[in-house]
Chain A
């Protein structure tokens, strides 16, 4: 009984709150829609046929379970902790995003919605949404900041091949935050046939909880796999955070295992400084309300939202999922920031030692592993979420390494 009372896994409450964070800060036009979605999801959650369909597609379409891989050369190189990588970069479409998209699209189909909209930063969520829409024959419109369209060209082309319409968003600075604004504007206009497939554990309730539940397959598998490999729970979990869905997916099933240390890694950009050239909402922000939820936000003294800065388009968001904000405040998880430079160096190390080209997002998580692993004992088990592969990032990395990839001498 006492354990239940003290559980960290009970949130959100009936108002969609994790402590003071979360909630439903949306316009009246959208309110009936998110209530209908909540009802549908509450029903689906306990409906065996829903999860049977998910399990089938996870296995046969996504390729789950993803391996939990002992990165022995990397562990040896760092000379300390024993490092495992949860290989969600091996999923169909190359990242964890599809875990959640499948769940939301199945819900959309149950609700009779025929048009799917999504926002995307790095393009991974957009590609996953376009993919599942193609599979089910649904119309798909993806909002993507104009700046991201430019720096993630391969993913833009992928989405188009998959039949999606990609809308470049020019408002604001043209990044993920602005794409989310425009997706919300689309939704408020096309309420009858459209389902908004949010890519992270943010937005109005029930999205943060729903996306977490769909991504929790990562942590559930990791828990079973580490028990099989080590016969015990890990000492430390590490994952990168933009909005925070891959991290929430890994962390959630371990929240009540209090001996497991949980670390989220935010994008420190050029460094968490006064100039706000970073995306570390928890490290450098304060609570505010944006995109339907209360959470930590990068904002000025007057409550105006600031644009983040990161080498990684997938982390370039001024907010963070509300459950992370809560876990931070109650101290169950700790959050650190890693700079672009540190992430790039971890990216290269991973390529060289493990033959795995990581996305820039998990490269941030890896950079923190690189920082702490050398000082830890050899029996200290770390699980890091390798949430995406780096194919999409090679152009960005080449540019930063001074390599010309234009194909011309």
Chain B
């Protein structure tokens, strides 16, 4: 059982939906992103997705691209990202942390070295956007063997024929991408998402969490109500980018979490 598995078991017991929030490590700098991260559990975040900055985030919209660029500009690295997790873990040993990003920084470090470091730092799962099931040998299988969850994205283009392939070797939860598109783009509609979640849940016992296109407490509630929970990323990153004090960003996160938890 990883912290992710434990958390979802608890939520299921309480009959609660999960609220997952994404932030970019090192945006706008190391200290402030750590401060934000530390406030997230108190704001109602059940699972933290920590973005690993990358120069070429091909699946991300402008908001997250720019956040990654800001982080890189202040010298954020893989080591510093892992350090953030270590610092966070000093006060919190239960909130699950999923590292989300692209493969090259991990491949560059070396998969085996990375997995040892990630596990030791206190990371529980990985979402690596550019590793589809066809490339499972690269990182997915070694990560599972190292005791980390490998969380896969399912999308509107993942048809019934392909779905079993996507679900095999997935653990922790399934991340359903609500739209065809990049992060921060079109608004997700619960009416479109509901049948898709049902289609996935028919094929797996894992929780199905929906992300992309959720920006308000209302959408957070609507989407969470037709799934096991929801993810918000770009909307939170935008708040940080606007230079608001961290207390205000956390208040916004809390409103989103309350939305999801009221579903």
Q: Are B78 and A28 in contact (CB under 8 A)?
A: no
Q: How far is the CA of A77 from the CA of B131 in the complex (A)?
A: 53
Contacts known (A25-B135, A32-B162, A188-B181); A290 close to B157, Cβ less than 8 A: no
Residues of B contacting A291 in the complex (Cβ-Cβ under 8 angstroms): 56, 58
Residues of A contacting B155 in the complex (Cβ-Cβ under 8 angstroms): 27-29
Residues of A contacting B134 in the complex (Cβ-Cβ under 8 angstroms): 15, 23-24, 31
Contacts known (A25-B135, A28-B132); A299 close to B182, Cβ less than 8 A: no
B31-82 residues at the A interface, CB under 8 angstroms: 53-59, 61-62, 65, 72, 77-79
Q: Are A299 and B61 in contact (CB under 8 A)?
A: no
Q: How far is the CA of A27 from the CA of B128 in the complex (A)?
A: 9
User: At the interface, yes or no: B185 with Cβ under 8 Å from chain A?
Assistant: yes
Q: Are A290 and B182 in contact (CB under 8 A)?
A: no
* Per-residue interface assignment for chain B, residues 116 to 157, with 1 indicating a CB less than 8 Å from any chain A CB and 0 otherwise: 000000000000011111110000000000000000111111
User: At the interface, yes or no: B6 with Cβ under 8 Å from chain A?
Assistant: no
* Number of chain B residues whose Cβ lies closer than 8 Å to a Cβ of chain A: 44
Q: Are B104 and A303 in contact (CB under 8 A)?
A: yes
Residues of A contacting B104 in the complex (Cβ-Cβ under 8 angstroms): 288-290, 297, 299, 303-305
Q: How far is the CA of A122 from the CA of B103 in the complex (A)?
A: 29
Interface core residue of A29, A184, A288 (most chain B CB under 10 Å): A29
Residues of B contacting A112 in the complex (Cβ-Cβ under 8 angstroms): none
A interface, how many residues as a size bin? 35 or more
Shortest distance from the beta carbon of A114 to any chain B beta carbon, whole Å = 16
> Within the complex, which residue of A28, A191, A299 is in contact with B108, where a contact is CB–CB below 8 Å?
A299
Shortest distance from the beta carbon of B74 to any chain A beta carbon, whole Å = 13
Residues of A contacting B194 in the complex (Cβ-Cβ under 8 angstroms): none
Q: Are B103 and A32 in contact (CB under 8 A)?
A: no
Closest to B59 in A: A27
User: At the interface, yes or no: A2 with Cβ under 8 Å from chain B?
Assistant: no
Shortest distance from the beta carbon of A168 to any chain B beta carbon, whole Å = 14
Q: Are B107 and A28 in contact (CB under 8 A)?
A: no
Contacts known (A177-B56, A289-B107); A185 close to B61, Cβ less than 8 A: yes
User: At the interface, yes or no: B158 with Cβ under 8 Å from chain A?
Assistant: yes
B145-182 residues at the A interface, CB under 8 angstroms: 152-159, 162, 166, 177, 180-182
Contacts known (A32-B158, A290-B104); A189 close to B185, Cβ less than 8 A: yes
Q: How far is the CA of A15 from the CA of B138 in the complex (A)?
A: 12
User: At the interface, yes or no: A181 with Cβ under 8 Å from chain B?
Assistant: yes
User: At the interface, yes or no: A345 with Cβ under 8 Å from chain B?
Assistant: no
User: At the interface, yes or no: B109 with Cβ under 8 Å from chain A?
Assistant: yes
A279-327 residues at the B interface, CB under 8 angstroms: 288-292, 294, 297, 299, 301-305
Contacts known (A28-B152, A185-B182); A304 close to B55, Cβ less than 8 A: yes
Q: Are A302 and B157 in contact (CB under 8 A)?
A: no
Contacts known (A302-B105, A304-B105); A188 close to B158, Cβ less than 8 A: no
Residues of A contacting B53 in the complex (Cβ-Cβ under 8 angstroms): 304
Q: How far is the CA of A185 from the CA of B72 in the complex (A)?
A: 21
User: At the interface, yes or no: A350 with Cβ under 8 Å from chain B?
Assistant: no
Q: How far is the CA of A25 from the CA of B138 in the complex (A)?
A: 10
> SS class of chain B's interface: helix, strand, loop or mixed?
loop
Q: Are A304 and B109 in contact (CB under 8 A)?
A: no
User: At the interface, yes or no: B106 with Cβ under 8 Å from chain A?
Assistant: yes
Residues of B contacting A292 in the complex (Cβ-Cβ under 8 angstroms): 130
Q: Are A24 and B135 in contact (CB under 8 A)?
A: yes
Q: Are B55 and A305 in contact (CB under 8 A)?
A: yes
Residues of A contacting B72 in the complex (Cβ-Cβ under 8 angstroms): 304
Q: Are A171 and B154 in contact (CB under 8 A)?
A: no
Closest to A16 in B: B134
Q: Are B135 and A29 in contact (CB under 8 A)?
A: no
Q: How far is the CA of A289 from the CA of B108 in the complex (A)?
A: 9
Interface core residue of A30, A190, A303 (most chain B CB under 10 Å): A303
Q: How far is the CA of A181 from the CA of B158 in the complex (A)?
A: 22
Closest to B165 in A: A31
* Per-residue interface assignment for chain A, residues 187 to 201, with 1 indicating a CB less than 8 Å from any chain B CB and 0 otherwise: 011111000000000
* Per-residue interface assignment for chain A, residues 165 to 187, with 1 indicating a CB less than 8 Å from any chain B CB and 0 otherwise: 00000011000010001001100
Contacts known (A28-B158, A302-B108); A181 close to B58, Cβ less than 8 A: yes
> Within the complex, which residue of A27, A32, A191, A301 is in contact with B130, where a contact is CB–CB below 8 Å?
A27
A135-185 residues at the B interface, CB under 8 angstroms: 171-172, 177, 181, 184-185
Interface core residue of B78, B104, B105 (most chain A CB under 10 Å): B104
Q: Are B162 and A303 in contact (CB under 8 A)?
A: no
- In the assembled complex, 12 residue pairs joining A and B whose CB atoms fall closer than 8 Å, in A order, are A23-B134, A28-B152, A28-B166, A30-B157, A31-B134, A181-B57, A184-B58, A185-B61, A289-B103, A304-B54, A304-B104, A304-B105
Other A-B pairs, 17, CB within 8 Å; known A31-B134, A297-B104: A23-B135, A26-B130, A29-B153, A31-B162, A32-B157, A32-B159, A171-B65, A185-B61, A189-B185, A191-B180, A289-B107, A290-B56, A290-B104, A302-B105, A303-B109, A304-B72, A304-B105
Lowest 7 A-B CB distances belong to which pairs? Answer: A303-B108, A303-B105, A189-B181, A29-B155, A303-B104, A31-B132, A305-B55
